[in-house]
Structure 1
Amino acid sequence: MASPKPSFDDLRLLDVKTKLSALALTVPLAITTLGGCSMTDNNSDDTTFAGTSTSRDASDAMERVSSGIYDLIGVKGKTSDSRPTVLDCSGKDRNTHFRILHPWSFYPASASDLGEAMARLKMELPKHSWKIVVYGPDTSENKNISLTAENDKKKVGVHIVQMSKNDPPKLSLDVVSGCYKVPDGQEIERF
């Protein structure tokens, strides 16, 4: 007896699970890189301290950082419609401390512009207070070009992967904040 053909909803669920698995592999790298960088506050036990904020305000700030990175790409294309999410801070009370992750993708109008988009980011990020800490092929089978940078002023890091063999080709970006403390008397809104 033949197995039933998967429905459109089954395929969408598989696509979401695949993306979440890829995100689960990428986010720890970005968080580890950011957590060990020079943005450390002396009172934070080697965890980047980004200040005091509500999770909603911190999320809005992360979207502005992502928008600034998008402006540096300088190549025509479109972005994914993704929103920031709240993460726990390693070693901190999850009721009082949090980080913001904004994963998004950039799809150039022409696949041939993907390399130019990554090259522009490598050139432009340092001109805008970003320090590139990792650049080169990753360990994947495709040997994707990977760039990790941190911004001490904004207490944020970004991990960018040039996925030339993806269909369609894209830049995958994970923008991760340092660790925020929620204002006294307020709760972290999780989304």
Structure 2
Amino acid sequence: MKTRLSACALALPLVLTTITGCGMTEKDSDTTPSAGTSTTRDASDAMERLSSGIYDLIGVRGKTSDSRPFVAECTGKDTKTHFRIFHWWSFYPASAKDLDVAMERLKTELPKHGWKIVTYGPDTSKNRNINLTADNDQHKAGVNIVQRAKNDPPKLSLHVVSGCYKVPDGQEVERF
């Protein structure tokens, strides 16, 4: 368990850097793009709808983990007025052979729905997990999908992240 947790902790900065890179960053800047003004609840609901849209593109039977979006800080921004939404979840296909089908469908279908594939291919881990990272400029969001074929059970790990939101004037970020 410690090894898995440590690997996740080490991989997190890479995933976040990758997701917030390329098309999701504002031109000539290393900062996270603005996603506009919203309450944390409304932004969380929007992130769930975005994740649900990705789920619909998977196109194979299976189940998902029971997870909810959470609020995080925007680097370099006032933590009382700015926030990001993260939604981390997993998809477990009904059949292990459907894992490849699901990943291929996502690679094909995401661009048809406003996502730009930024990276696709095996990572450098011992398992050579297939990674897909995509940005959606319209929604100011990014997703990193990792095909974990050698897990028991096999799964897709999905990390969906928003740009930086600002709460409406007079409100503060609600943490959950």
Whole-angstrom CA distance in 1 between matches of 2:137 and 2:53: 15
* Paired AA for residue 34 in structure 2: F
Within the candidate set 131, 136, 144, 1:151 is matched to 136
Residue in structure 2 matched with residue 161 of structure 1 by the alignment:
146
Residue in structure 1 matched with residue 64 of structure 2 by the alignment:
79
92-101 vs 109-118, which moves further: 92-101
Question: What pairs with 1:61-80 in structure 2 (closer than 5 Å)?
Answer: 61-80=46-65
Deviation at 1:36, TM superposition (A): 2.8
Q: Which runs of 5+ in 1 are unaligned?
A: 1-13
Contact 1:155 1:177 in 2 (8 A): yes
Superposition RMSD in Å: 2.0
Deviation at 1:93, TM superposition (A): 1.3
Q: Percent identity?
A: 74
Deviation at 1:25, TM superposition (A): 3.6
Cα 1:39/1:164, change in 2 over 3 Å: closer
Q: Deviations over 1:143-170 (max 9, x none)?
A: 1000000000000000000000000000
Residue in structure 1 matched with residue 93 of structure 2 by the alignment:
108
Question: What pairs with 1:88-103 in structure 2 (closer than 5 Å)?
Answer: 88-103=73-88
Within the candidate set 104, 128, 134, 1:119 is matched to 104
Q: What is the TM-score when the length of structure 2 is the normalising length?
A: 0.92
Residue in structure 1 matched with residue 155 of structure 2 by the alignment:
170
Whole-angstrom CA distance in 2 between matches of 1:102 and 1:23: 15
Whole-angstrom CA distance in 1 between matches of 2:114 and 2:155: 24
* Paired AA for residue 157 in structure 1: G
Whole-angstrom CA distance in 1 between matches of 2:130 and 2:45: 28
Whole-angstrom CA distance in 2 between matches of 1:57 and 1:162: 30
Q: Deviations over 1:25-67 (max 9, x none)?
A: 444233212333334457x863211001111111110000000
* Paired AA for residue 167 in structure 1: D
Q: Which runs of 5+ in 2 are unaligned?
A: none
18-27 vs 104-113, which moves further: 18-27
Q: What is the TM-score when the length of structure 1 is the normalising length?
A: 0.85
SS of the aligned residue for 2:101 comes to helix
Residue in structure 2 matched with residue 30 of structure 1 by the alignment:
15
Within the candidate set 92, 115, 121, 1:136 is matched to 121
Whole-angstrom CA distance in 2 between matches of 1:147 and 1:96: 31
Whole-angstrom CA distance in 2 between matches of 1:108 and 1:153: 29
* Paired AA for residue 51 in structure 1: G
Whole-angstrom CA distance in 2 between matches of 1:179 and 1:158: 15
Deviation at 1:92, TM superposition (A): 1.1
